[in-house]
Amino acid sequence: QRFAKALAEAVTCLNLPVEVINMGDYDPDDCLAEETTSRNVCVFLVATYTDGQPTESAAWFCKWLEEAANDFRVGKTYLKGLRYAVFGLGNSVYVDHYNTVGRRMDRWLWMLSASRVMTRAEGDCNVAQSRHGSIEGDFEAWKAKFLTGLQALCRGEKKPCSGKCKKGKCESPGKQSKESSDCEHGASEHENTEAEELFETSSEEEADAEEAGGTNAVIDVEDLGNIMGHMKKAKVLLFLTEALMLNPFGYPLVCFMSQLLQGKISSSLSFALFSGYKLIGSHSGVKLCRWTKSMLRGRGGCYKHTFYGIESHRCMEATPSLACANKCVFCWRHHTNPVGTEWRWKMDQPEVILQEAIENHQNMIKQFRGVSGVKAARFEEALTVKHCALSLVGEPIMYPQINRFVRLLHQNSISSFLVTNAQFPEEIRSLEPVTQLYVSVDASTRESLRRIDRPLFKDFWQRFLDSLKALAEKEQRTVYRLTLVKAWNVDELKAYAELISLGKPDFIEVKGVTYCGESSASSLTMANVPWHEEVVGFVQDLAELLPDYEIACEHEHSNCLLLAHTKFKVDGEWFTWIDYERFQELVRERERSGGSRTFTAADYTARTPPWALFGARERGFDPLDVRFQRRNKARDISGC
């Protein structure tokens, strides 16, 4: 805080506006993207605390930034345009964690295409190792160079290096430039490298430079001439933490590598470490859905809240099988999860999976304690899991003990929403009752399914058809999930209608595909994402071909609509919601009878509220919450 105030005073002396902000009072979800167009320079003063963790006031900001940087649903250019500098405070006596917070924050910002205006600098409390004799000396040296560079930015000057020298030794007029390679790409992490003249680099530019000339290639400087004339109107935002001294958030890297070497975690699952998952054993995972976070803050629930009445903040998104038998072109995991047509992993017991899933989910919820905007009542409710969306990634039905796992969910009064990709018909037939069973119907012809889902089975089409027939035999609630991809599968209405007559689902969810960013594994672009009006038009045309179905609900925010069988429309009112308590009673009665007592989807329905219906002015947004819309840099929060 002392350093932040000192820097603010120095910037004020340059006749520039400045604001000092405590990270604990700053909501990155609301505000950080706004900085991409503000012409501000954001300076992050961050400390590394006990055991390499961020200080309490910085913990939420760091967690949010890490998740955004590693979440495929957040575009890699999400913070493109944000200009920043990082000064880390630490103590090199703690060699394993020295300035970890600053280094990771710098990396995460870089991964989201924010532009460094200055190489990250580090202050060292260890006077024996401090570059300038003390942490105060380190800060003063960095501050002087930052202020000099800031004035250069205001005058519209920039570093003239063309990148052709490949060594970062180009000279500015009348000055000797310093080494410009990034600490994380070249220099030792334990060196406090000299800060050079201010210049801007982003992840895109540095990635291009690495591909062209290796990790030591000099990066071309972005031309700042058009915006520097307005620099004096901008602020320098100083983000600070309260004290000194982060291990990798989520699954600790050392522990992960140790278990990997011991064979406890398959190397093909290592992707999960970098995707925000909490790994469970050798084949399961849990992750906090964005809609869970949204509803915690009173910003609305997911489409399942609108269509079926789940409490999004009490929903656990998990899977007992990270592996999948498809490689869909729109996979929001970019095909980083393992694939296979049969179970090949050492099987963990369902009791262990469920216990660890709940514990990990609760720990992720606890990180929201005290976070700005989180409603206290919902926070307390969220600690008790009420729903489980078995749709995180992979193919849950591949897990050999899936029935036992589902029974355990129900014994803990947790409803079950299980999604399958229609490649395991026998497993669908043998599946015990779940609250709601989904089948992904991503195409309506053999050729389009092959192109979109890219299944591993050679007999994929017959498996697909048999899976739909197996679904028709189920007595509990069944759903077709259709994902519309423009130019891929939106022109096959009659074929879709034929598939619906085959599986006779209770409900049909139709959703526009979510663009998950660039990937070498997929050729999809924003041009393949249909507008909501186009999805509505498709559903209306499809409904014309289905005499037993009508449009019941809409969730505009998710670009999603629900077609429901008219048996759920009683006396002109829709009953698409679920009576969860009644479902649990029916499951217990069935279990006590040894399976002889059955029940149907009609036995646990509930009335759909008016705001959730298609045509309502709320467009599927719960009026008890307040919708939050970003002014720019919009990103998808579709979730499960």
Tens-place pLDDT, residues 603-618: 999 999 999 999 999 9
* Contact by Cβ (8 Å): 76, 42: no
Question: For the segment 474-529, what is each residue's pLDDT rounded down to a tens digit?
Answer: 999 999 999 887 645 556 788 999 999 999 999 999 998 654 445 444 555 556 67
β pairing state of 573-574 and 436-440: unpaired
Tokens 């957040």, residue located: 74
- Residue 549, H or E segment: strand 549-555
Based on C-alpha coordinates, what's the Rg of the chain? 27
User: What span, in angstroms and rounded, lies between the C-alpha atoms of 385 and 318?
Assistant: 12
Q: What is the pLDDT of residue 15?
A: 87
Q: Nearest Cα to 633, choosing from 78, 7, 5?
A: 78
Higher pLDDT, 579 or 131: 579
pLDDT band at 636 (very low <50, low <70, confident <90, very high): very low
Question: For the segment 544-575, what is each residue's pLDDT rounded down to a tens digit?
Answer: 999 999 999 999 998 999 999 999 999 999 99
Terminal Cα distance for the chain, rounded: 41
pLDDT at 27 over 90: no
* Averaged pLDDT, 239-258: 35
Q: Nearest Cα to 23, choosing from 53, 47, 52?
A: 47
Question: Which of 154, 186, 203 is at the close of a domain?
Answer: 154
Q: Nearest Cα to 303, choosing from 506, 512, 121, 144?
A: 512
Residue 617 within a domain: no
Tokens 């003990």, residue located: 401
φ and ψ at residue 36, rounded to 5 degrees: -70, -20
How remote is the C-alpha of 199 from its chain's centroid? 30
Higher pLDDT, 482 or 206: 482
* Contact by Cβ (8 Å): 55, 240: no
Q: What is the pLDDT of residue 237?
A: 56
Higher pLDDT, 508 or 66: 508
Q: What is the pLDDT of residue 521?
A: 46
Question: For the segment 78-127, what is each residue's pLDDT rounded down to a tens digit?
Answer: 898 888 999 999 998 888 889 999 999 999 999 999 988 888 999 998 88
pLDDT at 202 over 90: no
User: What span, in angstroms and rounded, lies between the C-alpha atoms of 518 and 524?
Assistant: 8
Residue 521 within a domain: yes
* Contact by Cβ (8 Å): 434, 476: yes
Tokens 């190489």, residue located: 119
Question: Which of 86, 121, 154 is at the close of a domain?
Answer: 154
Least confident of 74-88, 316-330, 382-396, 587-601: 316-330
Q: Nearest Cα to 422, choosing from 464, 469, 472?
A: 464
Q: What is the pLDDT of residue 324?
A: 77
Residue 260 within a domain: no
Q: What is the pLDDT of residue 468?
A: 96
Handedness of CA 98, 101, 104, 106 (dihedral sign): negative
Q: What is the pLDDT of residue 74?
A: 74
Question: For the segment 148-180, what is each residue's pLDDT rounded down to a tens digit?
Answer: 888 888 777 544 333 344 333 344 444 433 333
Full domain range(s) for residue 23: 1-154
* Averaged pLDDT, 182-199: 37
Tokens 């967690």, residue located: 63
Question: For the segment 250-292, what is each residue's pLDDT rounded down to a tens digit?
Answer: 333 333 333 433 444 444 444 444 456 788 988 899 999 889 9
Q: Are residues 298 and 444 in the same domain?
A: yes
β pairing state of 477-484 and 83-90: unpaired
Least confident of 308-317, 406-415, 450-459: 450-459
Question: Which of 97, 130, 154 is at the close of a domain?
Answer: 154
User: What span, in angstroms and rounded, lies between the C-alpha atoms of 418 and 409?
Assistant: 12
Residue 486 within a domain: yes
Residue 204 within a domain: no
β pairing state of 284-287 and 83-90: unpaired
Residue 150 within a domain: yes
Q: What is the pLDDT of residue 207?
A: 40
Least confident of 126-140, 143-157, 239-253: 239-253
Q: Could you tell me the CATH number of the domain that includes residue 85?
A: 3.40.50.360
Q: What percent of the chain has pLDDT over 90?
A: 44
Q: What is the pLDDT of residue 214?
A: 35
User: What span, in angstroms and rounded, lies between the C-alpha atoms of 291 and 637?
Assistant: 7
Q: Could you tell me the CATH number of the domain that includes residue 328?
A: 3.20.20.70
Residue 201 within a domain: no
Which 3 state secondary structure label does DSSP give 396?
Answer: helix
Question: For the segment 393-451, what is each residue's pLDDT rounded down to a tens digit?
Answer: 788 999 999 999 999 999 999 999 999 988 999 999 999 999 999 998 888 888 888 87
Q: Are residues 317 and 454 in the same domain?
A: yes
- Residue 122, H or E segment: strand 121-124
Q: What is the mean pLDDT of the chain?
A: 78
Residue 199 within a domain: no
Q: How many domains does the chain have?
A: 2
Q: Which residues have C-beta within 8 Å of that of residue 616, sequence separation ≥ 6?
A: 554, 610
Higher pLDDT, 322 or 501: 501
- Which ranges constitute the DSSP H helices of 350-478? 350-366, 376-382, 402-411, 425-430, 446-453, 460-472
